[in-house]
A and B are shown apart, each in its own frame.
Chain A
Amino acid sequence: MTTNTSTKGPGRRALMKTSMGAGVALAAGSWTRPVRAQGKPTKLVYVGDNGPWHQCLVQEVAPAFEKEHGIKIDFTLLPIDALVARLKAELSSGAGAIDIVQWDASMAGWVSRHMQDHAKLLEQAASRHPDFDWADFLPRVQGMATYDGKLSGIPYRVTTGVLFYQQKLLEQAGFDKPPSNFAELLAAAQATTKQGLPHRYGFGVMGRQGPAMLGSFTPFLRSAGGHYYDPKTGEIFVNQPPAVEALQFYGDMMTKYKVMNPDSLTWEFDGIIAGGQNDQFAMTVTLAPYGEGMSDPKLSKTAGNWGWSLMPGKDSIKQTATYMAGWMLGVPEGAKHTDWSFEFIQMATSKKWLRRAIDLADAPPRVSVLEDPAVLAKHPWAPVLGESLKTAVLDHQDPVWSTAQLPLRTAISQVLLGQKTAKQAMDGCAVQWERSFRLAGMKG
């Protein structure tokens, strides 16, 4: 591939298309070749985020891979925004510099077209790894890694929102079971909100206007039977009664009943964990794997107090629903060492290594791991994760979702601050969405 930096315009465009075409051809041609025949690289470049669940990958899987095959894994782990910038730049330029991409479910709409067809990669590697057992991955999770009919990666981590509660506090307040609907939730929150210092409130949320916000609100929306919008038709549901009621209840907990921590407004992922560790709330709804952090006796005042259960439904537990998100490992189009990259991915997502990963802060999407009694004993939140996946609704993956989130976050923030009612806020959000959908060319 020659580089021609002096021309702009049509010359460059053609060059870009040719190089991408070459990449595709290379990838296509490598299907049928066995691994050993491809020229062996000295290292593979892995680009992902810097969440704390990478310990297994970086400190155990990669060295094991290096020992077996002599290939080093070069990890570049960035905060999510920098990761997005990097991937955007890298994948759009088609330079083929990344060997393994770690992408998040909500990026699927954009990232998927740059990824290879992993169903074909699995097929091709079947003889080498007969016990990989793709069926062991939860069907919902397989769906998460698929976009527009193409399997674009292998899932490595799956997260849903579940209810966390301090068992003793609830018992003391007269609740021997976790709340199963919104009314019970409110009652329990009121009973466990402590007056006077040090503060403890009944319910903590991630209320900062940012990427974490929906992690606390979406379970309420889903459990009330609400939806955001239909990506295919552009029909907007966010200002319909179920969604509005969910948001009104959510906001009332903060403004009317005052059972939510006021400083929730500044909390994102780290804030909710710190809040749990510091005994600032009795209950919360957040990502299941955060149970590890809150139960760590070295860091948490509340270690050993937590129980987990499904998100309460609006009227009954049968209505419970929450969101589903996660991270996938994938080989991009135009990657130079597809076979070796996929070899690493299969190793990392094998039964053996995913079982090890859950000990190191990951939330692996394999049934065999989540239902292993040894695992359940050590990680009591795991069965709830598995259970919640049955009714979890996958977060939007279409490209418009990232635009849609912004006015939505504003609306939730306005309600939590008491600036608007849920109806007013959601109507405002809907107006913005109509505009955005129109600009994006969506019908409806």
Chain B
Amino acid sequence: MPEIFNSRQHRDRWIAYAFLLPNIIGFLLFMLGPIIASLVMSLFRWDIFTAPTFIDWDNFSEIFSGRSGFWLYLQNTIFFSLSVPLGLVLALFLAIILNQPLRGMGIFKTVYFLPVVSSAIAVAIIWQWLLNKDFGVINDLLIKCGFPTVDWLGSPLMAKISIVLMTVWKGLGYNVLIYLAALQSIPDELYEAAHLDGAASWRRFLHITLPLLGPAHLFLFITGFIATFQLFGPIYVMTQGGPLKGTWSLVYEIWWKAFREFRMGYAAALSWILFAIIFVVTLAQWRYAERKIYYS
């Protein structure tokens, strides 16, 4: 019996590798390989026309020096991630309202979700039109309500705010859906018990709903944060990083350095800094949550 088992296991090994092969070839070639290559490249100067030269950590020290613009691009990128808390508060509010046994809730869920499945490029073009200074519908409404018009994409601050608004709009339905699922998994008995204890509704929200949504908050925070840090298409369409580099994000800089200035090593170094930031922030949120979150 053991012999048969062993030969079966031995055969299994080769079968397993055969099963893995198609995926692993692609994975090594297009994922793991490039990750390692990019790490190595970050230590080189390479303009693709001449041979790469090893320059140790020079790319990194150039990035962190005042001249590179890195700190401005980082600030811009952090500004975009303001869309995450903003979107979560709105989504939680809507999800709580949607989580009631009333007619037609499914339709609202569908409607809120439409922007999520829309192409980010199409959405960016649509928003450019909405925000148009002279003919856009948003300024039109402002005039009709007696307010002065706003040059939405005309100043570094307003352009950043515009991109945040668009990002919130596009992602809202996704956040609502996740919150709704989390809300529906909270057992009714908890609320009934609190009701019997005479807890007011806002206290029930504060002490039952909010803490029990912990895993959903964490998940949406992390995925939302990662997504806004990687925003590219809408910036390329709406502002090209302008005005005055006011919307020039880290990812935009990576693309620009690699495919406009052909400074491949420098861009690779930047991409690793981006990764490091995402990694540290994710880990920090996770650690913080571990202490706070109650997993039911």
The answer on A and B forming one complex is: no
**Which residues on A are within 8 Å of B, measured CB to CB?**
none
